[in-house]
Structure 1
Amino acid sequence: MAMSTSPTLFELPFFALYIGLLLRLAWIDYRCMLLPDNLTYSLLWSGLLYQLCFIPENLAASVLGAICGYLSLWGLYWIYFYWRKCAGIGYGDMKLLAALGAWHGWQSLGWILFTASSMGLFAVLISKLLRKKSISLTTTPLPFGPYLAIAGGSAGWIYSSFPLFKELNFLL
């Protein structure tokens, strides 16, 4: 969500939609381990439309962000599938990362994935410590959507509040 210092009145519906969809997707994935296409596609298209209407110079980076976001997790899916002979990530996660790429551009994908993965790993480790032997770190499914949503939402807030932070994207 690369925006100027404060959003205009016309940008606010886009931001409300962005936040609302992220919250809804995170909740559904947490409860059902599912990211519905109608919500992930709405998030993706609203991100591209936002870029087109308000920051057209970022549209190419957003389209590339959507493509790279999807393909990065798609590649990871197939590597894991050939290694373990089972799915390790859902297609909804791929679509959600594509939508976040559309909103934030390809440059943000490294931070979003790093943050989401770190939060997911931390949550699993805490869960393992609290539940002791009742969960397996290698076979217990983890809804990744909530962590992607938190990482994407925080990236939007950080980039809008601290524009210089975006220049650190080269680190990942």
Structure 2
Amino acid sequence: MLVSPVIDAGLAGVFGLLVGSFLNVVIYRMPKMLEAQWAAECADLQGQPVKETETFNLVKPRSRCRQCGHAIRWYENIPIFSYLALRGKCSSCATPIGLRYPVVELVTGLMFAWCVWKFGVTPAAGAWALFCAALLALALIDWDTTLLPDDITLPLVWAGLIAAALGWSGLKLPQALWGAIAGYMSLWLVYQGFKLLTGKEGMGFGDFKLFAALGAWFGWQALVPIILMASITGAVVGIAMKMAAGLREGKYVPFGPFLAAGGFCALFFGSDSILRVVGL
């Protein structure tokens, strides 16, 4: 009886490996695309000519080694297996390839497999797999650059509302709508209060949008457990990095990855489980 679900989950996992390979491209290239866009807009506002550069988006140019420029061949880009076959090094210059690449692929594959195992081969499984992929990309982009691109956060909000309207997320549309509103407004109010008291900005607007997306997917009732998990894990990691002198310039830790961690915990374990873990 378990053969079919296992095969379905396995196939979903293989597909997730491929999606994870693409996520690595998104995580690396999207911030650079945004920086190029902002530079072009600034030049235009100042009446300066926009410098022409090579086409750079999620499709072009082909993936290449950052050290020697070697174009990655198709058989060098098979998720996980190519990394193992190449022993984690560029085939041209032997520059080490970051371990995070196969880890992202593996994690994405496992999440896709879990979604199909949990929800079956259904639109709900596809919706939650999409949620996982977007949330993972946002967490790593924010960790690397402190950016939470609107190109991912805003579609994730809309996707949560659409999934609720179609009955794929387990929420009714009003629950998802109020979840999105509560998620955005709660952090916006915290931001405004902190700025009023200290004159400083405690977080970015991307955090509001990400929390709104989590509200759209889980409902307003899940926001308290998610923010508690995010705050506790963020504080623990921040303190550990400070003690290890690992804080980046400016002495800050991006909050988005911890919001994402709270979202993953709510999906895999349930928001009630988070409250039990923190003793509430």
Instruction: Name the TM-score class by shorter chain.
Output: 0.7 to 0.9
* 2:253 partner amino acid: L
The aligned counterpart of 1:125 is 239
* 1:33 partner amino acid: T
Alpha-carbon distance between aligned partners in 1 of 2:192 and 2:124, rounded to the nearest angstrom: 38
Higher RCO (C-alpha 8 Å, min separation 6)? 1
Is 2:155 aligned against 1:42?
yes
* 1:166 to 1:52, Cα distance in 2 relative to 1, 3 A: farther
Q: Secondary structure at the match of 1:109?
A: helix
Shift, 1:100, TM fit: 0.1
Alpha-carbon distance between aligned partners in 1 of 2:175 and 2:236, rounded to the nearest angstrom: 31
Q: Secondary structure at the match of 2:211?
A: helix
The aligned counterpart of 1:16 is 129
Contact 2:177 2:216 in 1 (8 A): yes
Q: Deviations over 1:110-154 (max 9, x none)?
A: 0000000001000011112212xx759xx6222100000010111
The aligned counterpart of 1:7 is 119
| Higher relative helix content | 1
The aligned counterpart of 1:52 is 165
The aligned counterpart of 2:212 is 98
Identity %: 36
* 1:85 to 1:57, Cα distance in 2 relative to 1, 3 A: closer
* 1:100 to 1:23, Cα distance in 2 relative to 1, 3 A: same
The aligned counterpart of 1:87 is 201
* 1:156 partner amino acid: L
Where in structure 2 are there 5+ consecutive unaligned residues? 1-114
Alpha-carbon distance between aligned partners in 1 of 2:235 and 2:272, rounded to the nearest angstrom: 28
TM-score, scaled to structure 1: 0.83
Q: Could you tell me which of 256, 261, 278 is aligned with 1:150?
A: 261
Count of residue pairs the alignment pairs up: 160
* 1:135 to 1:149, Cα distance in 2 relative to 1, 3 A: closer
Q: Deviations over 1:59-91 (max 9, x none)?
A: 211111100100000000011111111211110
